[in-house]
A and B are shown apart, each in its own frame.
Chain A
């Protein structure tokens, strides 16, 4: 497993994405898988940087590892901010028409759509989000 820990501020998003992209490219993942993974990382990281420590800042750790047969990437985000389970957030109703659609709730929805497994735990004061994506 490899990991990177950064201060959870938007300016560091690209560092985390670059870190993950490099590992995915080493394993010859398709551009589509890389882009979907990038979207997942952005949505989670933006949530952590916007809310977890607000109005203070803190750190976020991103871990990545791979499984074979079948090929999968396992990603974990860890922060020590406010206890928050993103999986409990109600999904947006994508069948509503324009006037009823709200602008929030899309991020975690996109995360769920772009990974195959996702689970959350709160351990030792840390929010830990595990994700698995086959490729």
Chain B
């Protein structure tokens, strides 16, 4: 997994490339702990995210809960495979998918 960040004031776009699985999810989780400070508009760009497992979903849920308190969060360019997992777990209705 690779993480690319683009910050524009209080707007942050995080591009997650590759696989968000049990091996890589802790890295994203750690990154978010500090990266979200002061962010009010968070976008996850999943154009190149090929696979997500429950470990990745947990990181998204924690991020969503935090952003509900300090701003908003959305997922963009979600692939069919990832969307299927979000749908199955009810995450698709908890999150804004653009």
Contacts and interface: CB of A to CB of B under 8 A. Distances in A.
Interface string A58-100: 0000000000000000000000000000000000101111110
A10 to B, nearest CB: 6
Contact of B90 (A10, A94, A103): A94
Interface string A24-39: 0000000010010011
Interface string B45-60: 0000001011101100
Contacts of A104: 58
Contacts of B88: 110, 113
The range of chain B's interface size is 20 to 34
Interface string B25-69: 000000000000000000000000001011101100110110010
B67 to A, nearest CB: 10
B79 to A, nearest CB: 10
Interface in A1-44: 10, 13-14, 32, 35, 38-39, 42-43
Contacts of B89: 92, 94, 106, 109-110
Q: Mostly helix, strand, loop or mixed at chain B's interface?
A: helix
B76 interface: no
Contacts of A14: 23
Contacts of A54: none
A122 to B, nearest CB: 24
Interface of A: 10, 13-14, 32, 35, 38-39, 42-43, 46, 92, 94-99, 101, 103-104, 106-107, 109-110, 113
Interface of B: 21-23, 51, 53-55, 57-58, 61-62, 64-65, 68, 81, 85, 88-90, 94
